[in-house]
Amino acid sequence: MRYDSVDYERRGTTALITLDEPSKLNALSPGIRAGLTAAFAAARDDDDVRVLVVTGAGEKAFCAGADISGFEFTTRYAREFIDKVLDVLALPENIGKPVIAAVNGFAYGGGFEIAIACDFIIASERARFAVPEIQLGLLPGFAIVRLAELVGRQRAKYLSMLGEPVSAQEAKEMGLVLEVVPHADLLTTALALADKIASKPQMAIRYAKSVYNRELGGADITYAKDVMPFLFLDDDTREGVAAFREKRKPVFR
């Protein structure tokens, strides 16, 4: 089954959700965002689905982040964009069933944030992780309120302020990734973990997720939605986005 730009497949008790715009590095296009929303709703409403696995199509990218080709520099546009995107990024947190990210390549920006919103990350040895928004004069709207809890305040600042990618092994050492596996074994490993989780008592599994996630998705997300749009008014953001579109190095002033 296909929802917009996302493939949805039932494999036993697992819903396999694949972001499928590899020519665009599975960036968070309207089709990817709509497809993810529909796929998560389908998995939520299917009583036979116990675990979700999210991955990316193609050999290069899990998800390369936001599609900035249509960015507009107004607070109204920014607020509407951030509202929509943050709600999609938080889907893995907010569904009551466990979600595994099978990260097959680049997980940058919004792709990084989808991955860390999942309960577990299994990464290919080829995977790379980054929050590169600083290169555009921006900050990651979702990771800015999640990353410190996962890797500590100092590492979170380092990743957000430099925007440089880290390898799958480095991400594991930080505590972002549960397991790094050979690329050919990625999906098999993720599905095997899904089967193990599915074999456990489901009420206990869902309660465990609810308890561990009980403080997520509250005032911190609302704060990010309120504050982030103002970055779109900064001259450095205009320069960063223009430089990205023109494939040149930005000059921040």
215 an active-site residue? no
Cα 86 to Cα 113: distance, rounded to the nearest angstrom? 9
- Tokens representing 162 are 């430099």
Per annotation, catalytic residue among 125, 133, 149, 239: 133
21, 113, 170, 239: the catalytic one is: 113
Quote the CA–CA distance of 17 and 91 in Å, as a whole number. 12
Side-chain-side CA neighbours of 223 within 13 Å: the count stands at 9
Closest CA to 226 of 33, 75, 70: 75
Q: Is the dihedral of CA 27, 28, 30, 33 positive or negative?
A: positive
Report the distance separating Cα 74 and Cα 51, nearest Å: 39
User: Which residues have C-beta within 8 Å of that of residue 118, sequence separation ≥ 6?
Assistant: 54, 92, 99, 100, 101
**113 given a catalytic annotation:** yes
Q: Which residues contact 176 (CB under 8 A, 6 or more apart)?
A: 115, 116, 121, 129, 150, 151
Which residues form the catalytic set? 113, 133
